Amino acid sequence: MRRWGFLVALVVLAVGLWWSRAPLGAAFYARVAEQRAGRNALAGRSDGITLIFCGTGTPLPDPDRAESCLLVQAGDNLLLIDGGDGGARKLAGWGVPLGGLDAVMITHLHSDHIEGLGPALLMRWTGSAARTALPLIGPAGTARLAAGYNEMLHADAGYRTAHHGEAITPTGGGQFSGRDVGPGEVWNAGGLVVTAFSVDHAPIAPAFGYRLAYKGRTVVISGDTTANPAVAAAAKGVDLLVHEALQPRLVAGITAGLERAGQKRTAQITRDILNYHTTPEQAADIAAQAKVGMLLLTHIAPPLPSRLLHAAFLGDAATRFSGPIRIAHDGLVLHLPVGSKAVDDDSL
Ligand SMILES: [Zn+2]
Ligand SMILES: [Zn+2]
């Protein structure tokens, strides 16, 4: 009898909750939104270089990874290195404010490194009421890319100023100022020095990697490249090498599937991409040559839907480089504190 009473009470409760789902949902949403909106995931770390991986994928469709995107914070500097599709919106979702963005640097003009620059520009503008254009720095063609973005967003920028007013979205802040640069020092402010170096991603030329140095901590970002001595030279003794990686043995499965499905042109593209990237094993060789402190692989191709595939992706990389090797994921945060050799990690 008692058991029946309990069951009836349970049913009444379930029906009550179902009937109240709209007000309950609204109350729950309001509570969570109040806690999450406006938070600042950049705050609270010690002085050092912080890297936030906002996109660790490639043009190969991957539900877990946005295209190339890396946010760098060092002292008062906030830089975005590459802005592939989806990256800036991921940052916003994690509570990383972009109002303080000082500049965007791009490694090369491939679409998977530049297609998400519009949202980054908008978030910097609305986040800071910027009155000046956002510097967009990169290899030859970058100024033209900036002009193209400005043209594409011309009407939108006008609408937003008209709607929100000059105090919130001032005229002039919703655009890029593009600058083509050669290899060499491209940024030097507040202790952070960024140096561009040429890599080999032919036929995409020029293509850059970047070296970051801040108060004794050092990071090299390879950009997209074949296994290249220039990366090893730039990375000599750095604390962290962030290298792109593609595993041909796993891409071969995609090629075979496309062939079987009769999609010969797409199959050929998956063959073509093999000749302008670096395998995880080659990246490990470069890390060993350069004697870096840690190797982090990013620009991961093909997609790895499970961590169980990491071993197959890495192959024998661990036998070639004795230091730590990691595979980046979207939301990974690495922090290199000043005055230490540590590379701390966290996830957003
Ligand atoms: Zn790429
Ligand atoms: Zn590329």
Residue 112 annotated among the catalytic residues of the structure: yes
Round the average pLDDT of the chain to a whole number and report it.
Answer: 96
Q: What is the pLDDT of residues 247-278, one digit of tens each?
A: 999 998 999 999 999 999 999 999 999 889 99
Q: Determine which one of 62, 82, 85, 112 is catalytic.
A: 112
Cα-to-centroid distance, 331 and ligand 2 (Å): 21
Cα-to-centroid distance, 287 and ligand 2 (Å): 21
Longest dimension (CA), the chain: 84
Q: Give the number of whichever ligand sits closest to the CA of residue 207.
A: 2
- The 8 Å CB, 24+ separation contacts for 129-133 are 129/167, 129/168, 129/169, 129/170, 129/173, 130/99, 130/170, 130/172, 130/173, 131/170, 131/171, 131/172, 131/173, 132/172, 132/173, 132/177, 133/172, 133/173, 133/175, 133/176, 133/177
Q: What is the pLDDT of residues 195-249, one digit of tens each?
A: 999 999 999 999 999 999 999 999 999 999 999 999 999 999 999 999 999 999 9
Measured in whole angstroms, how far is the alpha carbon of residue 241 from the centre of its chain? 15
Cα-to-centroid distance, 112 and ligand 2 (Å): 7
How far is it, in rounded angstroms, from Cα 122 to Cα 89?
10
pLDDT at residue 1, as a whole number: 64
Tell me the pTM: 0.93
User: In sequence order, what are the residues at sequence separation of 6 or more whose Cβ sits closer than 8 angstroms to the Cβ of residue 144?
Assistant: 178
Measured in whole angstroms, how far is the alpha carbon of residue 294 from the centre of its chain? 18
How far is it, in rounded angstroms, from Cα 13 to Cα 19?
10
| Angle at CA of residue 129, ends 125 and 135, nearest 5° | 45
How far is it, in rounded angstroms, from Cα 291 to Cα 13?
63
Q: In degrees rounded to 5, what are phi and psi of residue 183?
A: -60, 150
Give yes or no for a contact between 40 and 326, defined as CB atoms under 8 angstroms apart: no
